[in-house]
Amino acid sequence: MTDTRTATAASVPLAPRALPLLGHALPLLRDPLAFIMSLSGYRTMVRLRLGPSTAVMVCDPALTRQVFLNDRVFDKGGPIYDRIREVIGDGLSTCSYDLHRRQRRLCQPSFHPTRLAGYGAVFARAAELKAASWRDGDILDVTQEMMTLTTRATMETMFSGALPAQTMRRALDDTAIIVSAFFRRMMTPALLRRLPTPQKRRYDRARNRLSATIEQVIAERRADPTDHADLLSTLVAAVDEESQDGQKQLSDTELADEALTFFLGGMETTAITLAWALHLLATNPDVQHRLQAETDAVLAGGKPDPAQLPSLGLAARVVTETLRLYPPAWMMTRTLRQDAELGGVRLKGGSTLVLSPYLLHRRSDLYDEPDRFDPDRWDGAQPDRATYIPFGAGARKCIGDQFALTEAILALTAIVARWELTPVGDQPFQPKVETSLSSRGLRLRLSERRTGGADGAGLHAAAPRSTPARPSAQSSTQPGAATCPVKHSE
């Protein structure tokens, strides 16, 4: 019998379908979700091969939590973070354990509940403007629309909307190029990654231009350090009283890395969460109608407002359930800083671990009918900290979770108050699996809602458009702890 206390990584079963040289890279590139779900029978850990290197995938919720909570040993690293680091340097989400605590202390004030109150008003306004820009019968490129919404909201909360429209559009294009390249670059061996292909040149150009945009904004802000009540002002002013080396504030490079981190980390994740939520509502009209009833009652013909958040219980449950079914960070990686034991297996320093919220969120032994969209499963129930991890856990848990939830709930409310959403075509829509679980290509049809409302002309007759006509293919309560009626506490 094997003595599990001395078992090594070699005793962890190897996932089937490994090819010589490539290992599991092909199934991971071709149909990553099906491949990941095919591993759900492994209850603790399973080994994966990516080219010449091996990674251990953790399949058990308690072990996953153990990894999250011990970030001194299971540090940020592995192929995902190596690629992300190429763009955002050693920002808060990519930096190693040694740098993390100082950076987290410096960034935390930007997400303080008192700041979130102001951001909520920006989100509500941006969502209302976006929803008012559509026309009855439009077919929306939903992901694109949600990206422009969250880019605008993120830009305004970060930089008080100080960017000219053209710069904003360019930043949006560059971001789209960068995020769609991440996953492929992660799976491509280093040698091939360096080849000067047209994709690589496009990627490099986008990366350099986005960095230059952010650096320019920071230089302007350093020249005029008055408090603009935005995220960048808080970052510029942040002081780390616990600093041991006299470096009490963020340097220009650190500021640029953090600003890029928040921008890239916050914009796409929230946009695709919203896109998936709209998809799920369109394909579950009963839930959509119940949500519209909630919205009608809470808004009473007015506009969404952060003060209404505690009354938007169903909207919060829809977002919670969307993040269960489509966690944008469907896979995360860690690197061991030293030899360590996990689940009775001795792992060597330098080993790579893979964690997958998608796998845990869809395991039938953890959730009843795991593939069914059922926001009511959260009615009166708090998400379990081990089995529900769309924002990760422990010291590296998402710093923007309340920011994102506030934004998503207010945006959903603004949209369903005005619009009925229906699917286009009858083919089930499949995620495009990249570094995040993308909803790219999702299209939905809009119909104006005519029922209810205090303005007598239908609840929300679509406002006159200020944007060009399109068949849309382009295109108080205390927030923080009380933001989301479904608590996502650590």
Cβ nearer to ligand HEM, comparing 154 with 292: 154
d(CA 66, CA 451) in angstroms, rounded, equals 50
Q: What are residue 8's DSSP bridge partners?
A: 346
- Asked if 149 touches ligand HEM (CB under 6 A), the answer is no
Q: What SS3 state is found at 262?
A: helix
- Asked if 363 touches ligand HEM (CB under 6 A), the answer is no
Cβ nearer to ligand HEM, comparing 262 with 419: 262
Considering only 266, 375, 452, 453, the residue that binds ligand HEM (CB under 6 A) is 266
Among 210-218, 257-265, 440-448, 480-488, which window interacts with ligand HEM (CB under 6 A)?
257-265
CB of 191 to ligand HEM, least distance (A): 27
Is the CA virtual torsion 201, 275, 145, 473 positive or negative?
positive
For strand 332-336 and strand 139-141, is the pairing parallel, antiparallel, or unpaired?
A: unpaired
Q: What SS3 state is found at 252?
A: helix
Considering only 269, 320, 335, 472, the residue that binds ligand HEM (CB under 6 A) is 269
CB of 172 to ligand HEM, least distance (A): 16
d(CA 36, CA 28) in angstroms, rounded, equals 8
Report yes or no: 452 and 465 within 8 Å, Cβ to Cβ: no
For strand 437-438 and strand 443-448, is the pairing parallel, antiparallel, or unpaired?
A: unpaired
Contacts of 109 (CB under 8 A, 6+ apart): 115, 234, 238
Among 29-37, 59-67, 201-209, 400-408, which window interacts with ligand HEM (CB under 6 A)?
400-408
- Asked if 404 touches ligand HEM (CB under 6 A), the answer is yes
- Asked if 400 touches ligand HEM (CB under 6 A), the answer is yes
Rounded to the nearest 5°, which phi and psi values hold at 57?
-95, 130
Considering only 182, 183, 203, 262, the residue that binds ligand HEM (CB under 6 A) is 262
CB of 391 to ligand HEM, least distance (A): 5
Cβ nearer to ligand HEM, comparing 104 with 170: 104
Cβ nearer to ligand HEM, comparing 178 with 459: 178
CB of 390 to ligand HEM, least distance (A): 5
Among 199-207, 240-248, 265-273, 477-485, which window interacts with ligand HEM (CB under 6 A)?
265-273
Phi-psi label, residue 202: left if phi above 0, alpha if psi -120 to 50, beta otherwise: alpha
- Asked if 403 touches ligand HEM (CB under 6 A), the answer is yes
- Asked if 273 touches ligand HEM (CB under 6 A), the answer is yes
Of 249, 271, 130, 155, the C-alpha closest to 210 is: 155
Cβ nearer to ligand HEM, comparing 334 with 460: 334
CB of 453 to ligand HEM, least distance (A): 30
Locate 416 and state its tokens. Answer: 């369903």
Number of residues that bind ligand HEM (CB under 6 A): 22
- Asked if 328 touches ligand HEM (CB under 6 A), the answer is yes
CB of 407 to ligand HEM, least distance (A): 7
CB of 452 to ligand HEM, least distance (A): 30
- Asked if 92 touches ligand HEM (CB under 6 A), the answer is yes
CA distances from 427 to 273, 365, 417, 423, 424 (A): 21, 29, 26, 9, 8
Kindly write out the interface string for residues 166-205 of this chain, putting x where it contacts ligand HEM by CB under 6 A and - elsewhere. Answer: ----------------------------------------
Considering only 399, 412, 433, 446, the residue that binds ligand HEM (CB under 6 A) is 399
Locate 197 and state its tokens. Answer: 């292909």
- Asked if 429 touches ligand HEM (CB under 6 A), the answer is no
The beta strands (E) that lie in 168-284 are given as none
CB of 177 to ligand HEM, least distance (A): 20
Q: What SS3 state is found at 320?
A: helix
Of 133, 126, 124, 142, the C-alpha closest to 421 is: 142
Task: Find the binding residues for ligand HEM in span 379-398 (CB under 6 A).
Answer: 390-392, 396, 398
d(CA 201, CA 194) in angstroms, rounded, equals 10
- Asked if 486 touches ligand HEM (CB under 6 A), the answer is no
Number of H helices, E strands in the chain: 16, 13
Radius of gyration of the chain (CA): 22
d(CA 153, CA 137) in angstroms, rounded, equals 26
Rounded to the nearest 5°, which phi and psi values hold at 377?
-65, -15
- Asked if 337 touches ligand HEM (CB under 6 A), the answer is no
**Interface residues toward ligand HEM, by CB under 6 A:** 92-93, 104, 261-262, 265-266, 269-270, 273, 328-329, 332, 390-392, 396, 398-400, 403-404
